[in-house]
C-alpha cells in the first residue's frame, strides 16, 4: 500500500531537497494513515488487542531462545524506561537535557557500590539508586530558575561531562576506567535472578511501572502544567503555574526513573564502567525521544526499539549500518518533523519564514 | 610558570575561537544548534592528513584543499539537513544535525578508521626563549594565524558587501529578503565560512598536538557550544571571549588543580558564569517573549 506510493514518487528527478521532502511527505503521511487505521481497528476491539499484545509480550522470552537476541530485547526495555523518563523533561516540559546518562550512571554506580562493597540487599538499594539520582536531578533543576533555553542546555551538558569525569577519575570509589565487575545479582525469597528471561520480566515490570506513572502524570494536573510550560513559559507563569517548582519536579521524577534504569543495568550486566554514561549516550536518548515523537510515550518505546533494533536489522551491512541509520533518521525527520508517533505537528515558537509561507 | 600557562592557554583558546566562530554565526542566524559542526571540520582535517602523509602534497596546498572540502561539506549539510526545516521547530533540525553528524562520523570511520593517527607539524618543533618564557614555534604560528584570520574576518563582516549582507540576514531574514539580499545563498555562505574556519582551527590543533582522531569532532562541537554560550551566543566578540576563556581555564586548571578534572573545572566555571550572567558574558538580555 505504501510502497506503491513510494515508487510513484521516484519517477521525478531528485533535484531539490524541498521537492523530495514534499513528495515523500505524502508517503510518510500514508504510513501514518495506515498506522491510524490499525490503531482505530484495535481501539474498537480493546480486549482482544490487549490480550493479544499481552500474550506476545509475556511469551517473547519463550519464543526467543538466542541469548544475544534476549540481551537486545532487555536493552530495549531498559532504554524504553530511559527514553520515557527523558520524554517527561524534553517532550513534556520542553527542557532539553543532555545530562540524562549522568543520572543513569549515578543509579548504576550507587547500586554497584552498595551491593558489592557494602553487601546491602538489592531491594533496598534499587529504590535508593533512584532517589539518589533524583537528588542530583533536583540539584540540576536549581539553575533552571535563572538560566533558560539553550543556556540551560549547556548547563546540562556541563553536568553530564562533570559526572562522567568523576566516574572516570575518582578511582578510589569507582575504580575509574576499569569499572566495577562482579556485581551480585538480586535475590527474591531465596530465588536468584540469573537468566536473560528472568531479567526480561524484571525489565518489563520496570517499564510498565514507568509507563503507568508517566502516563498518569501526563493526564493529570501536573502534566497539563508541564505542557503549558513547554508551550509558553511566560504565559504559564501568568496563569499561576509555579514554573520553577514544576520544572524541578519534572527533573526529579525523570531522573528517579533514570536511576532505577541504571540500577537495572548494574545488576543485569553485573558490571558498570564510565563509558556507558558519556554525553554521547545522552544524545542517543534524546534522538530516541524526538525521533519517536516528543511527548508520546509509545513513541519513546518505538524510538528505543528502533535505535537498538537497527543494529540487529542491518547486521549484514555491519560497517555501513550507522551511516544508513543516520540517513534514515535524517530523511524521516525531514518528512515528518514532529516525530514518528506524534500526531499533532509541533508549532515553532518563533517563525523564520520563507516568503511563500507568508500569507 | 603562570605566564607560561597563560601563553599555552591563549594558543589553545585561539584555536577554540576559530572553531566557535562558525558555530556561533550559524546560531546567530538560525538559532540552530549545529551538532554536525565538529564532524564536518574533522573531514577537512582528515583530508589534510591523508594528503600530507599518503600523497605527500605540499603543506599550503593540502591545507587549502582541506579548508575548501570543509566549506563545501558544511554548505552541503545545510542544504540537505537544515534548509528543508527552515521555519519548523528547531529541536527537529537539531536532531537532523545529529543525524547528519552520525552519517559523516561513520563515513569518516569507514575511510580513516577509529584509531588516532600522528599528524605532521607544519613548522619546525623548536621553541623560542623570551626571558624565561618558552614559546614553541607552533604556538606562535597558531596565535599568529588565528589573530590574522579573526581580524580579517571582522573587517570582512564590517566593510565588505557580502559581510554586510550576512549581518543583515542575522538580524531579520524576511526583511533582508525584501532588501534584495539572496538569503538562501547568504545562509549557505555562512555555513561554508563556518566550516572553513573550523577546518583551520582543527588543522592548527592537530599540528600543535601532532594527533588526529575522529572523536575530536564531537568533543570540538561541545567545546564550541560551551564557548559560544559562555561569551553570549550569536555574538562574534562573544565567541572570541568565550573561546579564550575556555582555553585559558583549561590550561590553568590542568597545571594548577588537576589535569584529570581539567574539563570538569572548565564546565564548573561555565555553569558558574551562566548562573551569574544567564545570557553569557556579552549576550544581549534575552527577553522571555520574542
Task: Summarize pLDDT for A219-228 with one digit per residue, the tens.
Answer: 888 888 888 8
**In which band, very low, low, confident or very high, does the pLDDT at B270 lie, cut at 50, 70 and 90?**
confident
User: Does residue A7 surpass a pLDDT of 50?
Assistant: no
Interchain CB distance below 8 Å, A151 and B278: yes
In a domain, B286, yes or no: no
User: Does residue A25 surpass a pLDDT of 90?
Assistant: no
A209 and A127 in contact (C-beta within 8 Å)? no
Interchain CB distance below 8 Å, A159 and B88: no
- Three-state SS string across chain B, please? CHHHHHHHHHHHHHHHHHHHHHHHHHHHHHCCCCCCHHHHHHHHHHHHHHHHHCCCCCHHHHHHHHHHHHHHHHHHHHHHHHHHHCCCCHHHHHHHHHHHHHHHHHHHHHHHCCCCEECCCCCCCCEEEECCEEEEHHHHHHHHHHHHHHHHHHHHHHHCHHHHHHHHHHHCHHHHHHCCCCHHHHHHHHHHHHHHHHHHHHHHHHHHHCEECCCHHHHHHHHHHHHHHHHCCCCHHHHHHHHHHHHHHHHHHHHHCCCCCHHHHHHHHHHHHHHHCCCCCCCCCCCCCC
Residue A147 has its nearest CB partner, among B27, B85, B278, at: B278
- Provide, as residue numbers in chain A, all residues whose Cβ is less than 8 Å from the Cβ of B232: none
Interchain CB distance below 8 Å, B103 and A327: yes
In a domain, B281, yes or no: no
Residue A330 has its nearest CB partner, among B81, B107, B278, at: B81
ipTM: 0.78
A95/chain B closest Cα distance in angstroms: 11
Interchain CB distance below 8 Å, A352 and B83: no
What integer pLDDT is reported at residue A27 of this predicted model?
A: 64
**In which band, very low, low, confident or very high, does the pLDDT at B289 lie, cut at 50, 70 and 90?**
very low
Residue B263 has its nearest CB partner, among A165, A346, A348, at: A165
In a domain, B285, yes or no: no
**In which band, very low, low, confident or very high, does the pLDDT at A346 lie, cut at 50, 70 and 90?**
very low
What integer pLDDT is reported at residue A28 of this predicted model?
A: 65
B97 and B82 in contact (C-beta within 8 Å)? yes
What integer pLDDT is reported at residue B171 of this predicted model?
A: 82
- Provide, as residue numbers in chain A, all residues whose Cβ is less than 8 Å from the Cβ of B81: 330, 334
What integer pLDDT is reported at residue B56 of this predicted model?
A: 81
- Provide, as residue numbers in chain B, all residues whose Cβ is less than 8 Å from the Cβ of A151: 229, 274, 278-280
What integer pLDDT is reported at residue A318 of this predicted model?
A: 65
Local structure of A272: helix, strand or coil: strand
Which three cell numbers mark A354? 520563507
What chain A residue is nearest to B95 in terms of C-alpha separation?
A: A287
R_g (Cα) of chain A, nearest Å: 22
In a domain, B283, yes or no: no
Task: Summarize pLDDT for A252-298 with one digit per residue, the tens.
Answer: 999 999 999 999 998 888 888 888 888 878 888 888 888 887 778 88
Residue A287 has its nearest CB partner, among B95, B260, B267, at: B95
What is the rounded average pLDDT for all residues in chain A? Answer: 79
User: Does residue B15 surpass a pLDDT of 80?
Assistant: yes
A3-12, A60-69, A161-170, B259-268: least confidently modelled range: A3-12
What integer pLDDT is reported at residue B290 of this predicted model?
A: 41
User: Does residue A356 surpass a pLDDT of 50?
Assistant: no
Which has the closest alpha carbon to B156: B142, B167, B143? B167
Interchain CB distance below 8 Å, B177 and A357: no
Q: For residues A317 and A307, what is the distance between their CA atoms, to the nearest angstrom?
A: 16
Residue A217's DSSP bridge partners are none
Which region holds residue A196: left if phi is over 0, alpha if psi is between -120 and 50, else beta?
Answer: alpha
Domain containing B65: what range? Answer: 2-276
**Coarse DSSP helix, strand, coil percentages of chain A, rounded to the nearest 5 percent:** 75, 0, 20
**In which band, very low, low, confident or very high, does the pLDDT at A13 lie, cut at 50, 70 and 90?**
very low
Interchain CB distance below 8 Å, B264 and A325: no
Which region holds residue A169: left if phi is over 0, alpha if psi is between -120 and 50, else beta?
Answer: alpha
What chain B residue is nearest to A159 in terms of C-alpha separation?
A: B267
What integer pLDDT is reported at residue A94 of this predicted model?
A: 79
Q: For residues A58 and A79, what is the distance between their CA atoms, to the nearest angstrom?
A: 19
Task: Summarize pLDDT for B54-106 with one digit per residue, the tens.
Answer: 888 888 888 899 999 999 999 998 888 888 777 777 777 777 888 888 888 88
Share of chain A above pLDDT 90, in %: 13
Domain count, chain B: 1
In a domain, B289, yes or no: no
**In which band, very low, low, confident or very high, does the pLDDT at B273 lie, cut at 50, 70 and 90?**
confident
Which position has the higher pLDDT, A350 or A267?
Answer: A267
**Range ranked top by mean pLDDT from A60-64, A230-234, A264-268, A327-331:** A264-268
Q: Grid cell 517499564 — which residue?
A: A207
Interchain CB distance below 8 Å, A329 and B102: yes
Which three cell numbers mark A264? 537495572
Q: Find all residues with CB under 8 Å of B107, minimum gap 6, and list them.
A: A323
- Provide, as residue numbers in chain B, all residues whose Cβ is less than 8 Å from the Cβ of A243: none
Interchain CB distance below 8 Å, A357 and B87: yes
Local structure of A192: helix, strand or coil: strand
**In which band, very low, low, confident or very high, does the pLDDT at A6 lie, cut at 50, 70 and 90?**
very low
Interchain CB distance below 8 Å, A330 and B33: no
What integer pLDDT is reported at residue A85 of this predicted model?
A: 92
- Provide, as residue numbers in chain A, all residues whose Cβ is less than 8 Å from the Cβ of B185: none
> What's the rounded mean pLDDT across residues B270-288?
74
In a domain, B11, yes or no: yes
**In which band, very low, low, confident or very high, does the pLDDT at A358 lie, cut at 50, 70 and 90?**
very low
What integer pLDDT is reported at residue A103 of this predicted model?
A: 92
User: Does residue B286 surpass a pLDDT of 70?
Assistant: no
Interchain CB distance below 8 Å, A333 and B98: no
**In which band, very low, low, confident or very high, does the pLDDT at A14 lie, cut at 50, 70 and 90?**
very low
What integer pLDDT is reported at residue A20 of this predicted model?
A: 61
In a domain, B64, yes or no: yes
Q: For residues B227 and B280, what is the distance between their CA atoms, to the nearest angstrom?
A: 9
Instruction: Count CB pairs under 8 A between chains A and B.
Output: 161
Q: For residues A181 and A273, what is the distance between their CA atoms, to the nearest angstrom?
A: 8
Q: Please count the CA atoms within 13 angstroms of the CA of A291 that sit on its side-chain side.
A: 28
Calculate ∠ Cα B38-B41-B46, nearest 5°: 115
A322/chain B closest Cα distance in angstroms: 6
CA dist A102 → A85, A140, A277, A297 (Å): 13, 11, 6, 22
User: Does residue A43 surpass a pLDDT of 80?
Assistant: no
Task: Summarize pLDDT for B112-148 with one digit per residue, the tens.
Answer: 887 888 887 777 667 777 777 777 777 888 888 888 8
For residue A90, the 8-state DSSP code is I
Interchain CB distance below 8 Å, A147 and B274: yes
User: Does residue B163 surpass a pLDDT of 80?
Assistant: yes
CATH of the domain at B241: 1.10.3470
Amino acid at each position: 500500500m505504501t510502497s506503491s506510493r513510494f515508487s510513484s514518487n521516484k519517477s521525478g528527478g531528485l533535484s531539490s531537497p524541498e521537492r523530495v521532502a514534499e513528495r515523500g511527505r505524502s508517503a510518510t503521511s500514508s504510513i501514518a494513515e495506515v498506522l491510524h487505521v490499525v490503531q482505530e481497528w484495535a481501539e474498537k476491539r480493546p480486549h482482544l488487542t490487549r490480550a493479544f499484545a499481552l500474550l506476545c509480550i509475556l511469551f517473547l522470552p519463550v519464543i526467543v531462545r538466542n541469548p544475544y537476541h534476549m540481551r537486545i530485547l532487555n536493552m530495549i526495555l531498559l532504554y524504553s524506561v530511559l527514553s520515557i523518563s527523558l520524554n517527561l523533561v524534553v517532550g513534556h516540559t520542553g527542557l532539553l537535557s543532555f545530562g540524562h546518562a549522568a543520572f543513569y550512571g549515578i543509579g548504576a554506580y550507587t547500586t554497584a557500590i552498595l551491593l558489592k562493597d557494602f553487601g546491602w540487599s538489592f531491594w533496598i538499594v534499587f529504590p535508593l539508586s533512584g532517589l539518589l539520582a533524583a537528588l542530583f536531578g533536583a540539584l540540576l533543576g536549581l539553575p533552571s530558575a535563572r538560566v533558560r533555553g539553550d543556556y540551560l542546555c549547556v548547563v546540562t551538558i556541563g553536568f553530564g561531562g562533570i559526572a562522567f569525569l568523576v566516574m572516570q577519575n575518582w578511582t578510589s570509589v569507582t575504580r575509574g576506567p576499569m569499572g566495577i565487575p562482579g556485581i551480585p545479582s538480586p535475590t527474591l525469597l531465596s530465588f536468584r535472578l540469573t537468566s536473560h528471561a528472568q531479567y526480561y520480566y524484571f525489565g518489563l515490570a520496570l517499564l510498565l511501572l514507568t509507563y503507568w506513572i508517566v502516563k498518569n502524570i501526563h493526564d493529570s494536573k501536573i502534566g497539563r502544567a508541564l505542557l503549558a510550560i513547554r508551550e509558553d513559559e511566560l504565559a504559564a507563569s501568568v496563569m499561576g503555574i509555579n514554573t520553577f517548582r514544576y520544572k524541578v519536579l519534572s527533573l526529579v521524577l525523570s531522573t528517579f526513573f533514570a536511576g532505577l534504569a541504571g540500577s537495572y543495568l548494574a545488576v543485569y550486566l553485573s558490571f558498570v564502567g564510565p563509558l556507558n554514561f558519556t554525553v554521547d549516550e545522552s544524545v542517543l536518548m534524546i534522538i530516541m525521544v524526538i525521533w519517536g515523537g516528543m511527548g508520546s510515550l509509545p513513541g519513546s518505546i518505538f524510538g528505543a526499539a528502533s535505535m537498538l533494533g537497527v543494529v540487529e536489522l542491518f547486521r549484514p551491512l555491519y560497517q555501513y549500518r550507522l551511516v544508513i541509520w543516520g540517513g534514515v533518521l535524517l530523511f524521516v525527520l525531514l518528512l515528518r518533523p514532529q516525530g514518528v508517533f506524534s500526531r499533532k505537528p509541533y508549532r515553532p515558537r518563533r517563525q523564520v519564514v520563507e516568503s511563500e509561507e507568508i500569507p | 610558570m603562570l605566564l607560561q600557562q597563560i601563553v599555552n592557554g591563549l594558543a589553545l583558546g585561539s584555536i577554540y575561537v576559530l572553531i566557535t566562530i562558525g558555530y556561533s554565526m550559524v546560531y546567530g542566524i538560525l538559532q540552530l544548534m549545529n551538532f554536525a559542526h565538529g564532524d564536518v571540520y574533522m573531514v577537512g582535517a582528515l583530508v589534510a592528513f591523508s594528503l600530507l602523509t599518503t600523497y605527500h602534497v605540499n603543506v599550503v596546498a593540502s591545507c587549502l584543499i582541506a579548508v575548501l572540502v570543509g566549506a563545501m561539506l558544511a554548505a552541503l549539510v545545510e542544504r540537505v539537513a537544515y534548509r528543508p526545516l527552515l521555519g519548523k521547530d528547531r529541536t527537529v533540525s537539531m536532531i537532523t544535525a545529529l543525524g547528519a553528524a552520525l552519517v559523516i562520523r561513520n563515513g569518516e570511520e569507514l575511510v580513516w578508521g577509529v584509531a588516532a593517527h600522528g599528524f605532521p607539524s607544519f613548522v619546525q618543533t623548536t621553541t623560542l626563549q623570551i626571558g624565561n618564557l618558552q614559546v614553541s614555534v607552533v604556538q606562535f604560528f597558531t596565535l599568529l594565524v588565528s589573530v590574522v584570520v579573526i581580524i580579517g574576518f571582522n573587517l570582512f563582516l564590517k566593510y565588505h558587501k557580502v559581510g554586510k549582507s550576512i549581518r543583515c540576514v542575522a538580524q531579520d531574514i524576511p526583511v533582508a529578503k525584501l532588501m534584495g539580499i539572496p538569503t538562501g545563498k547568504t545562509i549557505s555562505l555562512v555555513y561554508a565560512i563556518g566550516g572553513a574556519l573550523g577546518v583551520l582551527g582543527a588543522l592548527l590543533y592537530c599540528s600543535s598536538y601532532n594527533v588526529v582522531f575522529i572523536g575530536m569532532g564531537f568533543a570540538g562541537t561541545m567545546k564550541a557550544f560551551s564557548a559560544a554560550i559562555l561569551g553570549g551566543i550569536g555574538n562574534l566578540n562573544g565567541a572570541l571571549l568565550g573561546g579564550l576563556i575556555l582555553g585559558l581555564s583549561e590550561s590553568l586548571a590542568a597545571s594548577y588543580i588537576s589535569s584529570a578534572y581539567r574539563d570538569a573545572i572548565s564546565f564548573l566555571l561555565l555553569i558558574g558564569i551562566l548562573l551569574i550572567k544567564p545570557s553569557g558574558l556579552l549576550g544581549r538580555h534575552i527577553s522571555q517573549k520574542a
